[in-house]
């Protein structure tokens, strides 16, 4: 029986790769995002369902619930990104507060609210997989702390969902090429530095992350929960 999969931020980049991976496996896939045109184009290509939704908006999440099936087997909390790239930083405490709130809403609150919105529909044997970042271990302004908070939240979520047979994990990418993350602001010198930091000598791809997400949502990972799995080519090794 095909699974029902919800991927937030599913129109492009990592989210699109995840949606494509599940769709190719025969699952029924719903993708969300804020840009209707991009969503609809991706949905048409993948045979997925598109729902325009800002995951930080409770009213839009209520409408999303109405468009979803009664059972969700896999939730991929992928929506997010470094909102600092969206504009020039302002000055003063008000601008600083706004910048931090923007990253927290985009990277933490979207996952928290979306998960809460569909929690009663998560199926026994299901999985919640949230996309974090190597920045959680490196600082990186307000973006890194937002992703660190996502990983901390996941610890509690795994405990809450475990009794229902649902796992909860975070995939933490390093530098991933072919995404909109850097908003075309990544210099060649910075790209070279990021690649040279890896042991594999290459940038990651959206498919690298999609493969890890697919594993965490598979029967092989039913005893893996409350974890952060790093996919960074060795740029940030652990023991």
pLDDT digits 0-9 by tens, 193-203:
999 999 999 99
Q: SS3 of 173, please?
A: strand
Q: How do residues 154-194 score in pLDDT, each as one tens digit?
A: 999 999 999 999 999 999 999 999 887 776 677 889 889 99
**Cα 6 from Cα 74, distance rounded (Å):** 6
Helices (H), the chain: 13-24, 36-46, 58-67, 92-104, 110-118, 143-162, 188-196, 206-216
Q: How do residues 214-238 score in pLDDT, each as one tens digit?
A: 999 999 999 999 999 999 999 999 8
Task: Report the Cα–Cα distance between both ends of the chain, in Å, rounded.
Answer: 38
Decide which of 84 and 35 is more confident.
35
Per-residue pLDDT, 85: 83
Domains observed in the chain: 4-231 (3.40.50.720)
Q: Which listed residue (102, 106, 115, 143) is catalytic?
A: 143
* Residues 6 or more apart whose Cβ sits within 8 Å of residue 177: 203, 204, 205
Give CA separation, 120 vs 42, 49, 78, 114, 160, in Å: 28, 21, 20, 11, 12
Assess whether 175 carries a catalytic annotation: no
In this predicted structure, the answer to whether residue 140 has a pLDDT above a threshold of 90 is no
Per-residue pLDDT, 90: 77
Q: How do residues 65-103 score in pLDDT, each as one tens digit?
A: 999 999 999 999 999 999 988 877 778 999 999 999 999
Per-residue pLDDT, 84: 85
């Amino acid at each position: 029986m095909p699974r029902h999969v919800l991927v937030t931020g599913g129109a492009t980049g990592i989210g699109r790769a995840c949606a494509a991976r599940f769709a190719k496996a025969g699952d029924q896939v719903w993708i969300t995002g804020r840009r209707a045109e991009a969503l609809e184009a991706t949905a048409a290509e993948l045979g997925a369902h598109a729902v325009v939704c800002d995951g930080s908006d409770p009213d839009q999440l209520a409408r999303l619930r109405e468009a979803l099936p009664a059972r969700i087997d896999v939730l991929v909390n992928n929506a997010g990104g470094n909102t600092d790239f969206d504009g020039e930083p302002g000055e003063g405490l008000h601008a600083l507060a706004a910048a931090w709130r923007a990253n927290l809403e985009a990277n933490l609150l979207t996952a928290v609210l979306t998960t809460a919105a569909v929690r009663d529909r998560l199926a026994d044997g299901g999985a919640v997989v949230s996309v974090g970042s190597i920045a959680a271990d490196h600082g990186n302004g307000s973006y890194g702390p937002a992703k660190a908070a996502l990983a901390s939240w996941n610890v509690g979520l795994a405990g809450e969902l475990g009794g229902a047979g649902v796992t909860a994990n975070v995939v933490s990418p390093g530098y991933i090429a072919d995404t909109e993350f850097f908003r075309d602001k990544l210099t060649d010198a910075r790209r070279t530095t990021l690649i040279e930091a890896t042991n594999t000598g290459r940038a990651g791809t959206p498919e690298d992350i999609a493969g890890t997400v697919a594993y965490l949502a598979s029967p092989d990972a039913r005893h893996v929960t409350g974890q952060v799995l790093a996919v960074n080519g060795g740029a940030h090794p652990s023991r």
